[in-house]
Structure 1
Amino acid sequence: MNRPLFYLAIFASILAISLAVSQAGRAQGTKYGQFAPPDAFEENPQLAYYGSENEWSRRQFSKEKAEDEYKRRGQRLLLATLNGNPNKSLDWAAEYLAEDPHDLESIYNQSIAYCQLGKIDQAFAAMKQAVEGGLPIERFLAGPRQLLKPLTESEEFQEYARSRTSGLLHGPMLGCVTDDSARIWVRTENASPVKVQVFSCDTQGNPSSNIASTSSSLVDLQEDFTAIIELTGLQPNTQYAYDVLIDDQSLLKGDRPHFHTFPEPGAPGIFKVAFGGGAGFMPEHERMWDTISSRNPDALFLLGDNVYIDLPEEPRGLHQYTYYRRQSQPEFRRLTASTPVYAIWDDHDAAMDDVWLGPYLDRPAWKPAMLRIFMENWVNPGYGNQESPGCWFKATFGSVDCFFLETRYLRTNPFGENPTMLGSIEKKWLLNELKNSQARFKVIVSSVPWAPNVKPGSHDTWDGFPHEREEIFGWIEKQKIDGVLLLSADRHRSEAWKIDRPNGYPLYDLMSSKLTNEHTHECVPGQLFCYNKLCSCGMVTFDTTQADPTITYEIVNIDDKVIDTLVIKLSQISF
């Protein structure tokens, strides 16, 4: 072969190998590439309209993942049953129980598998073992209901459960607290009218005999047996207690949670918020919720990766199971009964890791259902609008305005031209709200980090959308908007970053995303400080009563130790 033909043949071979690797990459995945199912490439063979920077597969539920991360173990077992292999689920559960005889998630999944095999006596025995081992019986009543129906409809189970349940499976969860209103979310055993009674409290916080207000709602079967009860006519800056009733019978057994309304919008005050993401289910870390509760925050901001689903194509059984694990936890229920929750999602709850969901409202076909199941399980002030749905909304706490962002639902491919994380409608809303806000502090809450180089080499953070990030930061400077603070999550650690700006004040990005996760991300250069040794949360206190209002950021670990502290004065973040 002559030399030109030889080199041409070599070039052709290299090209063929490159194309093969590129196609294989879509299926097998390599880190920080463009990966998606075939239908995502139908419009453009070179650019997936939805996809991920990581392998698009079921790798999160592999044997290796289940061994490394406990949150995957129960999911792996349930998927085997959902895929028609309950015997395989039983075999795997037996392997886990041989290592840890007290593994309650494996015992729970044994009960589900036995139900699918029609072995109700074995299902009951597994259920009883799990409950007596400490698993809340509400897990079996919540379900997934269809999977456990053969057990829960049996006379033996109903007799066993009768004295152990109140009819309230999940909640009450407090949310949407303002100066004159609040909402209470519940999930009940049956479709019944639910009533919430609200009581005034005396100066010691004890409920008085006078009912401040009463509101009711019908549990909606279409919303997975949940109801949201709206409480109105409350007074600003006032403490209340409440009870939840069905047929005038208390579901809380006299243990009435308390909450505190906020001052009127614009009024000075002290407001403390606990925030974080990365809340994968880990039984030994669930005490983190009690740690947060002990510090009496005025609100809890959950910034994504709240439960870790990671399989958008699957039936709702996996999604429900993943939410129910957390919502049945006594520690979580204690905290959220008295602390208003404001939740956004991130990649692991919206679909899978490092995902962009594309510019369409109803494509891929599973996208609206993923948002719907999120909405069933939280109690937010809003979910965007019809033109731009998602987890974006505003919440006001005295003289602090918080703008929670949806960063996944309409996010476009970061490898394309002019990608957007927010979409035009949400972005316009954010810019207008920032411009018009009269609050002393304006907090922009994102599920992914704002600061550069937080996740080197990745397009998943705001680094993948630098023009849009600059548009937001530039708008703050153009409009001379004082008092902007950034909150974010995603990286499994807690940290603080200072983003210096050439034409404005420095922007501080306060991050925390290791609430209950066992998995940890290493600290990277450039932070003001970083902590990743144990689970932790961010605790931010806004004090607008001072002449120069302050923000105090603390990293608090699971053992209730303050690791690092940063104080920011309003004068430092003003023009």
Structure 2
Amino acid sequence: MNKLVPLTLLGAFALQLSAKPPITQGETDPVMLDLDPYMIEALRGGVEGTDDTIPPGRFGSEGSLIDLLEEPTFRKLIKKHDLKLFNGPMVGAVTSSSARFWVRTAGEAEFKVVIGELSSEAVKTTASSDFTGVVTVEGLNPLTEYEYTVVLDGKVIADETYRFQTYPEKGTKERYSVAFGACSRYVPVHEGIWRTMAGTEPLAYLGLGDNVYIDATERRDVQRLHYYRRMLREEYREFIAGTAMYAVWDDHDIGANDCAGGPGLEKPWKLPNLEVFQQNWNNPFYSHDPKVPGTWHNFTVGDVEFFMLDGRFYRTDRKDKTDTSNTMLGEEQKLWLLESLRKSTATFKVLCSGTMWHDLADKGGADSWAGKHYKAERDEIFDFINAQKIDGVVLLAGDRHRTDLWKTERADGYPLYEFLSAKVTNIHTHNTRKQAEWSYNIGNFWGELDFDFSTDDPTITFKAINQDGEVVRATTLELSHLSHKL
């Protein structure tokens, strides 16, 4: 089981936490013991100091796996640990009849995924995509568990963790769960939580930002480093091989603490950082319009539709006095959300945000939807739900290192319940909030949404589950209580 870190060990981390360099203490994974120090030194220039104060690693600020593979010593480590499949496979974009698979190879290669008699197309990974590729297998049956293999340059790669479950079809009276979380800095002694989470067998995992802690706005070498090291860790590698992954970013993985992209694409780091993000996830798509890039997307699991929102790429930059946009999402993403909500036929609609919705969930609302720049946009979304009589809406949030249930009463509609969970692997803890319906912050944890369509009044249950797999708090909501017909 993934136990809490002793206080003595926490003290050893204190200096590092203030600067947010990579945490390496307590590492036991054989692959990471060899590769992690090598990659940190090569791509970041060492452990000490912050990413804003240390010079780039020996490949410059755009360093990547391409450069690492030029070094004989690194290639020997790849061979020692049989890592031609360097990262992945990662399952994503699952439906009731198909699934997509992402991999990163250690150099140019061709791969495909095979499920029984079904096979994906063959795809070549190249340096231009940081040796990543995505393939799709179609013709699957709903709510069925499948085993798969990866065929890499003709060699079959199999593992007992290479299994996943397709989604139920809409209208079926089934029960299923989806996990979510945020604030998942790579902490060696906490990484076992991914194996614990996998044991609960969620159909999907929603990463609500701060999925890796990068804090390096202008350093693609550091951004890539943090993705490489997280996906090399055994427990996480097992988890993503069998659980459909979806992700948006928040401040620590788009740039630095409390950062905002502002309107437009003029800032030189925005598109390069987005490209790194896209190369490391398996989302169904990245924004609804290529002319307005971002990380937002939506998808359905049976009778539940999830709206994964990007609250950073076009967010009003409070540090820029010329930015008067007053938005969290940007106009195009907001309109996409409202129109998608209006058209949705799902029983439950889940709005997923990297930051909190409730007025009292953040430190004065400075970096959340309650802030003065963003509250009007939040209220516009809430008012739209009322005006269009959209039932079954709940809210998810990340950012604060605790797990809460919040309730926002509305004069002209049903209450909006917000489930916050944001301390999957992090060490630092935020205080509980007495204003919440309930608030919990002990140890590490993730959130789980259990959906039950087997009754006449479908339910959604929010569970807070700790690092030992124990349900520490739970609340169930009935669809009839999330309706304008009350």
TM interval, shorter chain, is 0.7 to 0.9
Counterpart-to-counterpart distance in 2, 1:372 and 1:286: 26
Task: After TM superposition, list the pairs within 5 Å mapping 1:500-511 onto structure 2.
Answer: 500-511=409-420
Amino acid of the residue matched to residue 345 of structure 2? Q
Counterpart-to-counterpart distance in 2, 1:502 and 1:257: 49
Whether 2:375 is the aligned partner of 1:375: answer: no
Q: Aligned match of 1:321 in 225, 249, 261?
A: 225
The residue matched to 2:20 in structure 1 has which SS? helix
Q: Aligned match of 2:132 in 226, 233, 241?
A: 226
In structure 2, do the counterparts of structure 1 residues 331 and 225 end up closer, same or farther at CA, with 3 Å as the change threshold? same
Task: After TM superposition, list the pairs within 5 Å mapping 1:141-160 onto structure 2.
Answer: 144-147=65-68, 149-152=70-73, 158=76
Q: CA deviation at 1:413?
A: 3.0
Aligned to 1:67: 15
Aligned to 2:310: 406
In structure 2, do the counterparts of structure 1 residues 390 and 161 end up closer, same or farther at CA, with 3 Å as the change threshold? closer
Aligned to 1:203: none
Whether 2:86 is the aligned partner of 1:169: answer: yes
State the percentage of identical aligned residues. 37
Q: Aligned match of 1:291 in 183, 189, 196?
A: 196
Contact 2:400 2:430 in 1 (8 A): yes
1:35-62 Cα deviation digits (max 9, x unpaired): xxxxxxxxxxxxxxxxxxxxxxxxxxxx
Counterpart-to-counterpart distance in 2, 1:71 and 1:246: 40
In structure 2, do the counterparts of structure 1 residues 114 and 275 end up closer, same or farther at CA, with 3 Å as the change threshold? closer
Counterpart-to-counterpart distance in 2, 1:392 and 1:295: 27
Q: CA deviation at 1:536?
A: 0.4
Aligned to 1:534: 443
Contact 1:268 1:399 in 2 (8 A): no
Q: CA deviation at 1:220?
A: 2.6
Counterpart-to-counterpart distance in 1, 2:15 and 2:271: 32
In structure 2, do the counterparts of structure 1 residues 474 and 522 end up closer, same or farther at CA, with 3 Å as the change threshold? same
Q: CA deviation at 1:387?
A: 3.0
The residue matched to 1:498 in structure 2 has which SS? strand
The number of residue pairs the alignment matches comes to 447
Contact 1:115 1:150 in 2 (8 A): no
Aligned to 1:195: 112
Contact 2:394 2:418 in 1 (8 A): yes
Whether 2:279 is the aligned partner of 1:358: answer: no
Contact 1:450 1:461 in 2 (8 A): yes
Whether 2:417 is the aligned partner of 1:514: answer: no
Q: CA deviation at 1:152?
A: 3.1
Q: Aligned match of 2:150 in 244, 259, 262?
A: 244
The residue matched to 1:275 in structure 2 has which SS? strand
Q: Aligned match of 1:441 in 348, 351, 358?
A: 348
Contact 2:260 2:315 in 1 (8 A): yes
Aligned to 1:78: none
Counterpart-to-counterpart distance in 2, 1:221 and 1:557: 39
The residue matched to 1:292 in structure 2 has which SS? helix
Aligned to 2:141: 235
Aligned to 2:4: none
The residue matched to 2:197 in structure 1 has which SS? helix
Amino acid of the residue matched to residue 71 of structure 2? P
1:285-324 Cα deviation digits (max 9, x unpaired): 001101111111111111000111111112x221111111
In structure 2, do the counterparts of structure 1 residues 566 and 103 end up closer, same or farther at CA, with 3 Å as the change threshold? closer
Counterpart-to-counterpart distance in 2, 1:188 and 1:446: 32
Larger gyration radius, structure 1 or structure 2: 1
Q: CA deviation at 1:248?
A: 2.5
Q: CA deviation at 1:67?
A: 2.0
The residue matched to 1:74 in structure 2 has which SS? coil
In structure 2, do the counterparts of structure 1 residues 108 and 334 end up closer, same or farther at CA, with 3 Å as the change threshold? closer
Amino acid of the residue matched to residue 353 of structure 1? N
The two structures have a TM-score, normalised by structure 2, of: 0.86
In structure 2, do the counterparts of structure 1 residues 418 and 410 end up closer, same or farther at CA, with 3 Å as the change threshold? closer
Q: CA deviation at 1:388?
A: 2.1
Aligned to 2:9: none
Contact 2:217 2:256 in 1 (8 A): yes
Q: CA deviation at 1:423?
A: 1.3
Runs (5+) with no aligned partner, structure 2? 1-11, 44-62
Q: CA deviation at 1:110?
A: 5.7
Counterpart-to-counterpart distance in 1, 2:28 and 2:344: 53
Runs (5+) with no aligned partner, structure 1? 1-63, 76-95, 117-141, 200-210
Amino acid of the residue matched to residue 69 of structure 1? L
Aligned to 1:574: 483
In structure 2, do the counterparts of structure 1 residues 103 and 184 end up closer, same or farther at CA, with 3 Å as the change threshold? closer
Which moved further from structure 2: 451-460 or 372-381?
451-460
Aligned to 2:206: 301
Task: After TM superposition, list the pairs within 5 Å mapping 1:208-219 onto structure 2.
Answer: 211-219=117-125
Contact 1:264 1:398 in 2 (8 A): yes
Q: Aligned match of 1:274 in 171, 176, 179?
A: 179
Whether 2:297 is the aligned partner of 1:393: answer: yes
The residue matched to 1:430 in structure 2 has which SS? helix
The residue matched to 2:313 in structure 1 has which SS? coil
Amino acid of the residue matched to residue 331 of structure 1? E
The residue matched to 2:257 in structure 1 has which SS? coil
Contact 2:64 2:130 in 1 (8 A): no
Contact 2:161 2:238 in 1 (8 A): no
Amino acid of the residue matched to residue 274 of structure 1? A
Q: CA deviation at 1:401?
A: 0.8
The residue matched to 1:327 in structure 2 has which SS? helix
Q: Aligned match of 1:466 in 375, 397, 412?
A: 375
Counterpart-to-counterpart distance in 1, 2:40 and 2:303: 53
In structure 2, do the counterparts of structure 1 residues 557 and 190 end up closer, same or farther at CA, with 3 Å as the change threshold? same
Which moved further from structure 2: 390-399 or 266-275?
266-275
Contact 2:78 2:84 in 1 (8 A): no
Aligned to 2:57: none
Contact 1:299 1:340 in 2 (8 A): yes
Counterpart-to-counterpart distance in 2, 1:161 and 1:346: 32
The two structures have a TM-score, normalised by structure 1, of: 0.73
Counterpart-to-counterpart distance in 2, 1:260 and 1:109: 32
Aligned to 1:89: none
In structure 2, do the counterparts of structure 1 residues 214 and 313 end up closer, same or farther at CA, with 3 Å as the change threshold? closer
The residue matched to 2:212 in structure 1 has which SS? coil
Contact 2:249 2:354 in 1 (8 A): yes
The residue matched to 1:505 in structure 2 has which SS? strand
Contact 1:275 1:537 in 2 (8 A): yes
